[in-house]
Chains A and B, each alone.
Chain A
């Protein structure tokens, strides 16, 4: 069964600082990996996705993520955080087998200090 672990429940950074949110997955084959962001009171919005090819993927709002198969990780990064980045971030893993239903991590809440 597929699973996702986001080890950090909360992350606090200062505006302008760099950010890295961790995501580890378990999946038996080549995974499809996603990062979604949820602002308060809103639904989830796709930030970026990895299907195949280049292991460093670029997303919206200046985010990027790197797929590391050897570490079963797909960490999200941003070089300089803006106050508007404060939100909940979800990592998800899906795949071509079975039901195609992605599994979500529990989320990491990002707090940005001015």
Chain B
């Protein structure tokens, strides 16, 4: 079974630009979560999508947005990039089927964003 696939793996942008990152979850997984990882802040939860609906949201500004498509693939977008947005963005998928949902996540390798 293929794992979680994130594209692109690396990208460089300049301040003020916007970026779109893509995530394809494991087949059959309906939940996709996004995390931002930086050396200073660790793993910060951005948002979670389930069946094309944002189910949970972390404490990030509105410049960070996402969506999920009917095939469970997800994208996240960051507009008006700032230097502080430089980070590894990780996508994770899970089955997320209540009541047996346990929060176990399967991660992609991440998209490394550098903002200059």
Contacts and interface: CB of A to CB of B under 8 A. Distances in A.
Interface of A: 32, 34, 36, 41-46, 49, 51, 90, 92, 94-96, 99-107
A90 to B, nearest CB: 7
A105 B44 CA distance: 10
B103 A95 contact: yes
B103 A101 contact: yes
Give the 4 A-B residue pairs with the shortest CB-CB distance, closest first: A94-B103, A43-B107, A102-B103, A44-B107
Given A43-B4, A99-B55, A100-B96, A90 B103 contact: no
A100 B107 CA distance: 16
B96 A90 contact: no
A68 to B, nearest CB: 20
Contacts of B64: none
B56 A94 contact: no
A41 B106 CA distance: 16
B43 A100 contact: no
Interface string B90-109: 10100010110111111111
Contact of B101 (A44, A100, A107): A100
Contacts of B107: 36, 43-45
B42 A49 contact: no
A11 B46 CA distance: 29
B102 A49 contact: yes
Most buried by A among B48, B103, B108: B103
